[in-house]
Structure 1
Amino acid sequence: MPAFARAPRRPGWGRLAALAALGAVFAAGQAPLGAWYLALPALGAIFALGARRAPGWSGFAAGFGFGLAALFWIVEPFQVEAEVYGWMAPFALVAMAAGMGAFWAAGFGAGARLAGVKAPLWLTALGLGLGLAASDALRSYLFTGFPWALAGHIWIATPVAQAAATIGPLGLGLVTVLSAAWPAGARRARAAAGAALVAALGLGALWGAGALRLAAPEPERAAPVQIRLVQPNAPQDEKWLPEFRLDFFYRALDLTAQDAAPGAPAPDLIVWPETSAPFLLDRPGDGLSMVAEAAAGTPVALGIQREEGLRYFNSLAMIGPGGTVDALYDKAHLVPFGEYVPFGDLAARFGISAFAAQEGNGYSAGPGPRLLDLGPLGHPLPLICYEAVFPQDILAAPARPDWLLQITNDAWFGTLAGPWQHFALSRLRAIEFGLPLARAANTGISAMIDAKGRVTASLGLGRAGVVDAALPAALPATLYARSGDFPVLALLAAISALIYLFGRKYRVDLTPPQV
C-alpha cells in the first residue's frame, strides 16, 4: 500500500499574487499585443512555481490573473446602458476570471495527480502542462464551449500559426505548454538551458515551416469575385435609439450605393454586418426594397432579425433584385446569457417564462450550419458573430464550403482587446480550413482574409466605410479540415497515459487512513 500523504495546503498570498501576475503576463500573448515572447516565459514560470507546491491553488491563481487580463473586455457590454447595468461589470469580470481559474485549477490538479505527488519536478511540470492543454480542450466543448484565449492563440500573428492547418488550435496549445513545461521542470540551470534550447529549436522549425507555407505560390480563382463589405460604424449605445437608427440605415444604404474606386470592378456581392437592418425581416415595410435599390441589382447578404410566432432569430438573409429573400440562415450557436438563457424553455414548463425563448425572451437557435448557394459566387458557410470562434461548427457543415462569410457586431466589446481577439480567431479559422474569409463588422474590423490567414484588405475600428476586395482562392482541404481535433486529443491521452505509467512509483494515497 502506498503511504498516506497530507494534501498540500494553500500557498501564501505572496506566491498566489505572483502567480496571478504571471498569468496576466501570459495574457499578453493574446491579441492585440500578441507578445508570445513574454507569454511563453511567463507560462514556464507558472509551471515552475506550480510544480513545487499546491498545484491546484497555483493553477487557480494563475488562471484568475490570466482571465482578468485576457477577458477584461467583458465589462464593455455593461457600459452600453451604464446607468442600468454598469454596477454588474466588476462582478461579471470577477466571475469570468474565477471560471478561468477553475479550469486551470482542475487541469493543474489533475496533471499533478497524474505525475504523482512525490514525482520529480520535471515530471510534475510536464503533468501541469498536459493538464492545462486538457482544460483548454474541455473549455472548448463543455457547456456549448468557450474556446477563446486558448494557450495556442499566442501564435496567431506569427508563422507558427500555419501549423493549425495540420494540428488545429488544440495542437498549437499542446506545442505551447510542452515548450514551456520542459525547461520549467529542470532543477539545474544547465539542464534548464538545454531544455529551453531544444524547445526553441522545435518552435523555430515550426516558424520556418510556417514561413515556407506562407511563401508558397497562391492558387488562382477560376473566375474573379469582388465583394463589398459595408461598415456603418453604429455605436451600440446609439444603434437602436429612434433618433439615430434610421440615420445608420441610410448610411449603410449610401455605402452600398457608393461607386467603386476608379479602375476597380463593381462588386458581385455586398455584405452588411450582423443585425444591421432596423426592422424585422417579416415586417420590413419598404426596407428590403430600399436595400435592393441601393445595391442596383447586386445581391446583398443582410444581417437582420426575424420573428416566427413568439420566437426571434438572429439571421442572415440574401436579398435579391426587387427586395426578394433568396436564401436565409438563422444563427445556430448562440451566446449563453447574451442571446439566450440556458434552460429557459425548460423553466417555462414550470411556469417561469421570463427567460424562455419560446416566449420571445432572447433568440432561438437555428437548425445548424448550412451552406448558401450563391450560384457563380460559390457556396459560402455563413457565420454570425460568435460562431466564428468555434472550429467545430465549421467541421459540422454538411459539405466543405468554398469560402467563409462572417457578419458580426463587435460594437458591444469596445475598442481595446475584445474586437481584436475576435478578429484574430477569424484569421485562425481561415488557416485551419484553408478557406478565405470575408468579414463585415458593424464598427470594425471588416476585412478580407486569405486562406492562410493573411489580411488582404481591411477597415479599422471606429470608421464608417467599405472594403472592396477580391475574394482569394481556397486551398485544398487541410488535414485539420479532414480530421478535426481527434488526433490531438488522442495524442494528449497517449502522453498522459505515459506520464501516469512513469509516475506510478511516485504516486501516494491522499485518502485518510481508517481509524
Structure 2
Amino acid sequence: MLRLAARVSALAGWRRYLAAAAFGGLATLALPPAFAVPVLLLAFPGLLWLLDGAATRRAAFFTGWWFGFGHFLLGLYWISFALLTDIDRFWWMMPFAAAGLPALLAVFVGLATLGLHVLARRLRLGGLARVLAFAMLWTVAEYLRGHVLTGFPWNLIGYSWVGFLPVLQSVAVIGTYGLGLLTVAVAATPALFGDPAESRRRAAGSVAFGLLLVAAIGVAGWVRLSQNDGSTVPGIVVRIVQPNIAQTLKWDPAERARNFERLLEMTAASPAAGGPAPTHVVWPETAVPFFLERDAAVRQAIGSVTPPGGSVITGAPRVRTEPDGTNRFWNSLHAVDGSGAVVASYDKFHLVPFGEYMPLRGVLPVAAIAAGSTDFSAGAGPETLDVAGLPPFSPLVCYEVIFPAAVKNPERRPEWLLNVTNDAWYGISAGPHQHFAIAQARAVEEGLPMVRAANTGISGVVDGYGRISAYLELGTRGVVDAALPEALGNTPYGRIGDWTLVLLLMSFALSTTIARQTP
C-alpha cells in the first residue's frame, strides 16, 4: 500500500489531474442508482494520496477541483438532456449544462482540499487527524453547495446509503449531511496505510473502528426497522397516475387535449381485481396544461372523475393579471373536489435557476428552459395544506424535495409529504433514480411518509422508514393504488434540523485535536 500511495502522490501535471478526475468519477458509482458504496474506500484515499504530492495551494485546489469535476460530470450528465427537448433553441447551452455546472460545483471540492492543505501545514495535521479534518471540510463544502446561490444539494455522499435502509435510518438523527460526514471519514481511513509515519497497526485499527461504526449504525437501523408493523391511515387509498408523456409532446397544442384525456381515463379506471377503490388521486407536476382557475370546463372534467368525497391533486400553472396588465405565473399544485372546485392551492417557492427563472435576467436576456420569456414567480414557502379526507400534508414541487430540513412548515408539522414532479426532461437516465432516492432520504429524516407522482417516473409511496410500498418504473405508463402510511413521531432531525450537523462537527473537531496530540 505504501508503494501504491507513493506512486499516486508522485503524479504531477496533467497526470495528477486526470487521476483526480478518475477518482471523482469512481466515487459517483457509490450514489444511486449504482449504490456501489465500497468504491469510496478507494476514491477518497486516492484523493488524499494525490494531495500528499500537492506542494502548493494552487495544486491542492486544482487536485480537488478535478476530483469534483469528474464526480459531477459523471453524476449529473443527464441535466443536459433537458436541452434536447428544444435543441434548435438551446443547442448553444449544451456545453454549459454538460460541463459548466460540474465545473462550478467542483469549486466547492477545490475549496475543501485547499482548506485541508492549509490546515495540515499550519496545524501539522497528519495521520488520522488529517483524515478527520478532510471529512469535516468535505461536509462543510457539501453544506455550502446546498445553500449558496439558492443551493444545489444533489448527490450528497450520504445518499450512497439509500440502497441500505438499516444504515439510512441514521439520518433521522444526524441528517444526510451528518451521514455523509461519517461516510467520508470512514471511507478515507485506508489512506493511512499510505502514510509512512503511520504504523500499520494503528492504520488497521482506524479502518476497523470505522467499519465497526458503520456496522453498529446498521444494526441499530435494523432494530428500528424490525420494530415497526407498517401501519397505514385507515380509510385512505391514494391513486398515483403516471401518464408517461414525453416532454416534446407535453406542451404541444395538438396534443394537450389528448394528454388531458389520458389523465382522466387513467383516473377513472377500475382498481385492480379485489383492490379497494381509491379515495384520492395524485397527478404529476404541471399535469394539467391549462390554467385551472380560469377554465371551468377543465375543472368540471376533473371533478367528474374525482372519487366520491375525495379529490384530485394535480400540478398546473397558475396565472394572475396585475393592475398594470402584466401577467405573473406560478408553478402550482391544486386540489380539485368532485364539484370541480379548487379547494386548496400551493405555489412552488424554491424555483430552478435557468429552468424556471433566469438569474440576472437584465444581464442575461435569454429564455429560461421551462418558463420561457416570462419567469415563474416564487411562492411564500413550505406550507401545510388541508384537503378533505386527508391528513394535513406538505406539498413539494419537483426539486423542492432535495433540500434537507426545508420540506415542511416548522410551525405546523404535516403528517405526510407529497412530491409531484416532471422528470420527463431527463429521459431514461440516472437523474430520476437519484431524484427518487433523495425523496426516500427526506422521508426518513422527517419520519414522514412520502407520496410521489412523476410524469414519466419514478412514482411511488415511501413510509417514514424509507421503505417502498408502491412503485411505478421509470418510462412506464400506469396507475398504482396504495394505502397511506402513518406518520412516525417527530425525529430528532425533524426537530432541530442541521443543528445535529453542528454537534457532529464539534465532536469531529475535538477528535481531530485528540488525534493530533496522540503520538
1:291 aligns with 2:308: no
Contact kept, 8 Å, 2:436 with 2:458, in 1: the verdict is yes
Give the unaligned 5+ runs of structure 2: 1-8, 322-326
Q: 1:452 to 1:501 in 2, by over 3 A?
A: closer
1:306 aligns with 2:318: yes
The one-letter code matched in structure 1 to 2:99 is: V
Q: What aligned pairs does 1:410-489 form with structure 2 within 5 A after superposition?
A: 410-489=423-502
Contact kept, 8 Å, 1:371 with 1:401, in 2: the verdict is yes
Residue 124 (structure 1) shift: 3.0
1:116 aligns with 2:133: no
SS in 2 for 1:46: helix
Match of 2:239 among 223, 228, 235: 228
Residue 196 (structure 1) shift: 1.7
Match of 2:185 in 1: 178
Identity fraction in percent: 39
Could you tell me how far apart the structure 2 residues matched to 1:163 and 1:366 are? 32
Match of 2:30 in 1: 29
Residue 269 (structure 1) shift: 0.7
Q: 1:342 to 1:493 in 2, by over 3 A?
A: farther
Match of 2:6 in 1: none
SS in 1 for 2:137: helix
Match of 2:223 among 179, 189, 212: 212
The one-letter code matched in structure 1 to 2:217 is: L
SS in 2 for 1:313: strand
Match of 1:144 in 2: 150
Q: 1:363 to 1:32 in 2, by over 3 A?
A: same
Q: 1:132 to 1:358 in 2, by over 3 A?
A: closer
The one-letter code matched in structure 2 to 1:135 is: A
1:76 aligns with 2:74: no
Q: 1:500 to 1:364 in 2, by over 3 A?
A: farther
Aligned Cα RMSD in Å? 2.6
Residue 208 (structure 1) shift: 1.4
Q: 1:39 to 1:119 in 2, by over 3 A?
A: closer
Could you tell me how far apart the structure 2 residues matched to 1:503 and 1:296 are? 65
Q: 1:55 to 1:352 in 2, by over 3 A?
A: closer
Could you tell me how far apart the structure 2 residues matched to 1:41 and 1:211 are? 27
Contact kept, 8 Å, 1:369 with 1:398, in 2: the verdict is no
Match of 2:5 in 1: none
Residue 83 (structure 1) shift: 2.9
Comparing 386-395 with 324-333, greater Cα deviation is found at 386-395
The one-letter code matched in structure 1 to 2:174 is: I
SS in 2 for 1:63: helix
Match of 2:61 in 1: 56
Match of 1:19 in 2: 20
Deviations, residues 147-192 of structure 1 (Å, cap 9, x unaligned): 1111111111102111001100111111011102333134254443
SS in 2 for 1:363: coil
Q: 1:52 to 1:204 in 2, by over 3 A?
A: farther
Could you tell me how far apart the structure 1 residues matched to 2:92 and 2:69 are? 21
Q: What aligned pairs does 1:239-254 form with structure 2 within 5 A after superposition?
A: 239-254=250-265
Could you tell me how far apart the structure 2 residues matched to 1:31 and 1:359 are? 31
Contact kept, 8 Å, 1:123 with 1:185, in 2: the verdict is no
Q: 1:317 to 1:278 in 2, by over 3 A?
A: same
Could you tell me how far apart the structure 2 residues matched to 1:500 and 1:294 are? 64
The one-letter code matched in structure 2 to 1:338 is: G
Match of 1:271 in 2: 282
Comparing 144-153 with 335-344, greater Cα deviation is found at 335-344
SS in 2 for 1:371: coil
Q: Which runs of 4+ in 1 moved over 6 A?
A: 351-355, 357-360, 500-504
The one-letter code matched in structure 1 to 2:314 is: L
Q: 1:496 to 1:95 in 2, by over 3 A?
A: farther
Could you tell me how far apart the structure 1 residues matched to 2:13 and 2:307 are? 68
Contact kept, 8 Å, 2:126 with 2:516, in 1: the verdict is no
Residue 501 (structure 1) shift: 9.3
The one-letter code matched in structure 1 to 2:313 is: A
Contact kept, 8 Å, 1:48 with 1:125, in 2: the verdict is no
The one-letter code matched in structure 1 to 2:351 is: L
1:85 aligns with 2:96: no
The one-letter code matched in structure 1 to 2:213 is: G
| TM-score for the superposition, normalised by structure 2 | 0.89
Contact kept, 8 Å, 2:41 with 2:188, in 1: the verdict is no
Residue 121 (structure 1) shift: 4.4
Q: 1:214 to 1:71 in 2, by over 3 A?
A: same
SS in 2 for 1:394: coil
Q: 1:183 to 1:324 in 2, by over 3 A?
A: same
Contact kept, 8 Å, 1:434 with 1:478, in 2: the verdict is yes
